[in-house]
Amino acid sequence: MATHNDLGKNGENIAANYLTRKGYQIIKRNWRYNRDEIDIIAKDGDWLVIVEVKTRTSDWFGEPEMAVTRTKQQSLVRAAQGYIMETDFKGETRFDVIGILFDKQQVKLNHVEDAFLPG
């Protein structure tokens, strides 16, 4: 596996552990719908939470969570709609982004709840 893939998996593991410690229930990881993928699907109380994790080793180009482009948001919305249809989920859904920065032997995590709205 390529180093950037290892970095991404490490970031997703850190994010999943963080969410679990906060009381979220992890439902799925790396869930695919057609060509779209959701890093983490979780429940926060009654909320279905779609989580995109961005991991970086530098903030040279900005904070990792800022790298979720409009195109990526649309991909997450499509995948979320697929998940909701497949599971017949009835309830509120939100989209969170977790940025992980491995910076000089230190890990920084920033959780942006309700990071964007679909549409």
> Residue 72 CB: number of other CB atoms within 10 A?
15
- Taking the CA atoms of 99, 78, 91 and 88 in sequence, report the sign of the dihedral they define: negative
Please state the length of the chain: 119
CA-nearest of 8, 47, 48, 14 to 28 is 48
User: For the residues 38-52, what does the mean pLDDT come to?
Assistant: 98
pTM above 0.85, yes or no: yes
Cβ 80 vs Cβ 93: under 8 Å: yes
For position 34, which CATH number holds? Answer: 3.40.1350.10
Residues of the chain above pLDDT 70, percent:
97
- Asked if residue 86 has pLDDT above 60, the reply is yes
E-assigned strand segments in 24-105: 25-33, 36-44, 47-56, 93-103
Percentage of residues in the chain having pLDDT higher than 90: 78
Q: Which domain holds residue 103?
A: 3-116
Per residue in 3-28, pLDDT (tens digit) is 667 888 999 999 999 999 999 999 99
Instruction: State how many domains the chain has.
Output: 1
